[in-house]
């Protein structure tokens, strides 16, 4: 029998569940995007190139703002890589044999390229949806509905 793991994720949080044959979900782990430490760095920590004001090469006393998205995008890509590493290791150690990803479209695009070939073979379904805020019976109902949708 296949042991199916379902990763539910968005850019802020991820939760991994094991789905039983009766479709019950057991939460295995919870990941949270490290936003608090990121905010501390951007506000005055020692992170070169962090968002904020500085003097550009314009030759005048103006200010230049670097886009905050560079820092967020890098951190979010690292978060996606952390999730993919967890799934890769789990498939590699045979703790699960099938994977389902139910994630926001941005995270799906970040996670899938980071999956190992074994994890890609174990991937049964990818669904674009953000279910991270749901729990209990409502989560189960929404996961069941998401998995019924055509590919």
Domain boundaries of the chain, sorted by first residue: 4-34+65-148
- Enter the pTM of the model: 0.76
CB 4 within 8 A of CB 19: yes
CATH superfamily of 4-34+65-148: eRF1 domain 2 (3.30.420.60)
Cα(109)–Cα(80) distance, integer angstroms: 9
- The pair of structure tokens assigned to 10 is 């968005």
> Over pLDDT 70: what percentage of the chain?
73
The contacts of residue 96 (CB under 8 Å, 6+ apart) are 3, 4, 5, 18, 90, 122
Q: What is the mean pLDDT of each run of 10 residues along the chain (151 residues)?
A: 92 95 93 63 43 45 57 85 97 96 95 97 96 94 88 56
CB 86 within 8 A of CB 62: no
């Amino acid at each position: 029998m296949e042991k199916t793991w379902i990763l539910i994720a968005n850019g802020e949080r991820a939760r991994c569940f094991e789905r039983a044959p009766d479709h019950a979900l057991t939460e295995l782990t919870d990941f949270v995007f490290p936003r608090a430490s990121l905010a501390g760095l951007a506000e005055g920590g020692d992170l070169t190139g962090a968002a904020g004001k500085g003097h550009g090469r314009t030759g005048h006393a103006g200010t230049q703002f670097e886009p905050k998205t560079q820092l967020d995008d890098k951190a979010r890509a690292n978060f996606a890589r952390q999730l993919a590493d967890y799934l890769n290791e789990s498939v590699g150690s045979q703790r699960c044999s099938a994977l389902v990803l139910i994630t926001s479209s941005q995270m799906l695009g970040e996670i899938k390229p980071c999956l190992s070939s074994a994890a890609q073979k174990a991937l049964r379904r990818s669904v674009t949806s953000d279910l991270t805020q749901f729990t209990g019976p409502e989560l189960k109902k929404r996961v069941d509905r998401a998995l019924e949708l055509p590919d």
